[in-house]
Amino acid sequence: MQLARAAQYAAYKPKLELWQKGNELPPKHKLSALHPFLDSQGTMRVGGRLQNSAYPYDVKHPVILPANHKVTELLLRDIHLRNLHAGPNLLTATVNQQYWVVGLQTAVRLTAQGCTRCVRLKGKTASQLMGSLPVPRVTGTRAFTHVGVDYAGPLKVHASCVRGVKTTKGYIVVFVCMATKAVHLEVASDLSTNTFICALKRFISRRSHPNEIWSDCGTNFVGTDHWLKEIQGARQTHNEAAGRFLSNLGIKWVFNPPSAPHRGGIWEAAVKSAKKHLVAVLGSEAATYEDLSTVLAQVEACLNSRPLCPLSTNPDSYEALTPGHFLVGQPINLIPEPDVRHIPMNRLDKWQLLHKHTTEIWKRWRDEYVSSLQPRSKWRTTEANVEKDQLVLVKNDNAPPAHWELARIVQLHPDSTGVVRTVTLRRGQAEYSRPIQKICVLPSD
C-alpha cells in the first residue's frame, strides 16, 4: 500500500492537503462522486454506497489510483500477465476487485497496446491518411500519355477450332489511361517479359507511345523496364540494331512498392471490370485467340463507354462524360446519330465547332470528374509517422500473425507533405521496401 499512497500523493497532493486541514472536496471534482476517505493507514479509498453489502472490505472500498502513474501502469501489466494476457473485459473486472483506477478504460487500452506478445498475436498493421492523387491523375493530357498496366487471367484458350486441340492458358494485358480512365486490352499467351514486350509494341502502334508506365513489381514488368533501358543505352552507343525501335522514345517506368496493390487502384479496378464482362460472356468455356480478341475489343468498347461521373445538372447536357469522349469524341457504344454532313457549313466554322467541342470535353473533365476525386473514401485521419529503427512485423497474407517475420525500419520515404507511407526494412542482410499497411509496429518497451 505504500506505493499506492505514493501514487495518490503525487496525483492528488492539493486535495489531500485540503483533507488534512478538515476541508471537503469541491462538488465538481472528479473524485467527489466516489465520496473518498482515508483509512487507518492513510490510503485513500472509495466511500461509495456499498457499506451495507456482504462483500469483502477491499471490494466495498477499493484503493483509488490515478491512471497516468507508473505504479498503476506496472500494476495493470502485472495483472495482465498473471491472467495469461487478459483481454480488456477480464482485466477491468480483475482490477475492480481491489482497486478503483480513475480513467481505467484508457489505462487498460494502453496496457494491451504496450504488450508485445498481444500486439504480435493481434497483427494490426499501420495506417495513414490517404495520399494525394499523383500528377498524371489530375493533369489533362492526351489519352494514354500516362498509363497503368496489369494482367488479368488466366483464361482457357484453344489454339484453333480444330477438334482435339489442347487447351492452354491465356492472359489479358490491361492498359488504363491515368487521366481519362480509358482502357486498352491486349491478349497475351503467357506472363513472360518477351510476350509483354510484344503486347506493349501493339499498344504503342495503336495508341501512340506513353511518357510514363505505372505498374506493380511483377517480374515481367521489371524485365521490360530493363529491356527499355538497354535499348536506350544501346541508342546512346550507336547500336543500330537495337536503336531502330523506340529511337525517339523515352518511356519512364514507375513501380509501386511490393505488396501494395492499393497503390494501383485505378488499374486494379479496370482489371476487375474487364474480368466481370469476360465472365459474363465466356463463362468457363474455352475460346480461340480470334474469339478472345473479338470479345476483348467489345469489352474495351463497353469499358470506354462507362460514365466517369454522374450526369451533369446542365439541362443542355444529355450524356455523361465517358473515356470514349477523349478517344473518339463520344461514348463508343453510343447509338448512331443521323448523318448531318449535307448541312451547309464552311470549313472554318467546322474546325471552330470541333475545337469548341474538344475544349468543352476537357472543361467537363476538369469541372465534373476531377472535382469528384476530392473526397477521401477511407483513411481519413492523419496518424503519427513510423520512425527509423523501430522493430516491426512484416505482414504475410499466407501465415497467422504469430508467424510473421521480424524486421527493422532502416529508411523512411516521406512524400512531399512529410507523411511516411513507404519504408525500407532490413532482415538479416536483406533490405526491401514495403508500404506501412504491410507492417505491424511493435511496442518499444
Eight-class DSSP state of 86: -
> In this model, does residue 184 exceed pLDDT 90?
yes
pLDDT band at 249 (very low <50, low <70, confident <90, very high): low
Q: Which three cell numbers stand for residue 315?
A: 439541362
Distance, in Å, from the CA atom of 206 to the CA atom of 291, rounded to the nearest integer, reads 20
Rounded mean pLDDT, 161-170:
76
Highest-pLDDT range among 241-250, 289-298, 343-352:
289-298
Cell numbers that stand for 220 in this block: 515481367
pLDDT higher than 90, residue 221: no
DSSP-based three-state secondary structure for 109: helix
Q: Which pLDDT belongs to residue 263? A: 80
**32-72 pLDDT tens trace:** 777 888 888 878 888 888 888 888 888 888 888 888 888 88
**Is residue 72 packed enough to be buried (19+ CB in 10 Å), middle (13-18) or exposed (0-12)?**
buried
Exposure class string for 104-135: b at 16+ Cβ within 10 A, else e:
beebbeebbebbeebbbeebebbebeeeeeee
Query: Residue 1, class by beta-carbon neighbours within 10 Å (0-12 exposed, 13-18 middle, 19+ buried)?
Result: exposed
**Minimal CA–CA distance to 387: which of 126, 129, 117?**
126
Contacts of 149 (CB under 8 A, 6+ apart): 173, 174, 175, 176, 213, 214, 215, 221, 267
Q: Which helix (H) or strand (E) holds 79?
A: helix 70-82
Range of lowest pLDDT (28-32, 151-155, 278-282, 317-321): 317-321
pLDDT score of 247 more than 80: no
The alpha helices in 123-218, defined as continuous H runs, are 193-207
Q: pLDDT averaged over the chain?
A: 78
Kindly tell me the sign of the dihedral angle through the C-alpha atoms of 55, 56, 61, 67.
negative
- Give percent of the chain with pLDDT exceeding 90: 6
* Per-residue confidence band for 19, with pLDDT thresholds at 50, 70 and 90: low
| Sign of the Cα pseudo-torsion (306, 311, 316, 318, in order) | positive
**Rounded distance, CA 207 to CA 141, Å?**
13
Helix (H, G, I), strand (E, B) or coil at 40: coil
**CA distance linking residue 373 with residue 404, whole number of Å:** 36
Q: Using an 8 Å Cβ cutoff, are 183 and 274 in contact?
A: yes
Q: Can you list the alpha helix ranges (DSSP code H) found in 171-323?
A: 193-207, 219-236, 240-243, 265-282, 289-303
Residue 338 host element (H or E): none
**Residue in the structure block whose three cell numbers are 473479338:** 294
195/218 Cα distance (integer angstroms): 14
- In degrees and rounded to multiples of 5, residue 145 shows phi and psi of -70, -40
Q: Is the pLDDT assigned to residue 244 strictly greater than 60?
A: no
Domains and CATH numbers, the chain: 1-114 (1.10.340), 135-309 (3.30.420.10), 390-441 (no CATH)
Q: What is the pLDDT of residue 197?
A: 84
Cβ 413 vs Cβ 432: under 8 Å: no
Q: Is 49 exposed, middle or buried (0-12, 13-18, 19+ CB in 10 A)?
A: exposed
How far is Cα 291 from Cα 25, in angstroms, rounded to an integer?
85
Where are the alpha helices (H) located in 339-389, listed in sequence order? Answer: 347-364, 371-372
Show the cell assigned to 167: 487447351
Angle at 331 between CA 326 and CA 334, to 5 degrees: 155
